[in-house]
Amino acid sequence: VPFLQRFSVTLPAFCDFDPLANAPALRRLRDAAALRPSVFGTSQTSVEYIKGYAGYTGKPLPLEAPKVRLPAGSPFGARVTVAAALAGIKVDAETVDPKTEVRVPSVTYAGTTARDSGKALEFLLDAHRDSNEASPPLVPFDAVKLGRAQFVAQEADTLGTAVVMSRKDGAGDEQRKELANAIKALEGLVAGPWAVGADVTFADATLVPHLARLGTDALADAPKLRALLDAALAKDGVKAALDAYGDDAAFNAFVASA
């Protein structure tokens, strides 16, 4: 299994040759083994195999920019492109109709595809670590800050749900109250200037698309959230990353289908 995993990634990357193209039984064996926790928990990622082989041979990395597929109109998926902009990772992004393609957003890189918002974001960042010992970009090394970032990210999704529900036809006082409560809760959680302090994290990438959809006027009573949004929009590539998932019409269609 280790040989199958290693060479099914490195040979296509460096030699344009798929060793399992005509070996369906070996491919099924590799795929079945990868589902076992004992294998999944100890195997390297496709990116790690390729980087390791490049270092061993001295050859340049044959990696294209990660391919990001976003559900049109969804601010939840936009965390992936916003995180890429905040971390300085160049990606090739496109929007797809979530009705015709399930489990998006997705990130494809070095022959591996990760699906759904959380897993896609985690894969994108983990694939761009400077070394196996280093933390991925936007991921705090400190355990306390990491836990706080995870909690803020969860609450950011609560805010996102409240934003969507407040925009649906027939939304009333209850939905507006839930939105106000979500904003108030996050205003109390964020440390400033970023979600968990001085350094930008994946929590900011999760939060920014929902804040941007609200707009600065809706954050008049949330100065820390407003300052966070302004700081993020001032970063290179963040506005383009937000634009990548669709315009107002696409967002309205997403709200109607939610």
Q: Which two tokens stand for residue 21?
A: 């193209």
CA 209 distance to own-chain centroid:
12
- Residue 141's pLDDT band (boundaries 50, 70, 90)? confident
- Give mean pLDDT, residues 123-129: 83
CA angle 228, 209, 126 (to 5 degrees): 90
- Residue 257's pLDDT band (boundaries 50, 70, 90)? confident
**Residue owning tokens 């894969």:** 123
Averaged confidence pLDDT in the chain: 86
d(CA 173, CA 21): 58
3-state helix, strand, coil in the chain (%, to 5): 55, 10, 35
Question: Residue 59 above 80 pLDDT?
Answer: no
pLDDT digits over 79-120, tens only? Answer: 999 999 999 999 888 888 877 766 788 888 876 788 887 888
pLDDT digits over 195-248, tens only? Answer: 999 999 999 999 999 999 998 888 999 999 999 999 999 999 999 988 877 788
Kindly provide the b/e burial profile for residues 46-68, where b requires at least 16 CB atoms within 10 angstroms of the residue's own CB.
bbbbbbebbeeeeeeeebeebeb
d(CA 160, CA 77): 11
Listed residue (15, 98, 111) closest to 54, CA to CA:
15
- Residue 151's pLDDT band (boundaries 50, 70, 90)? very high
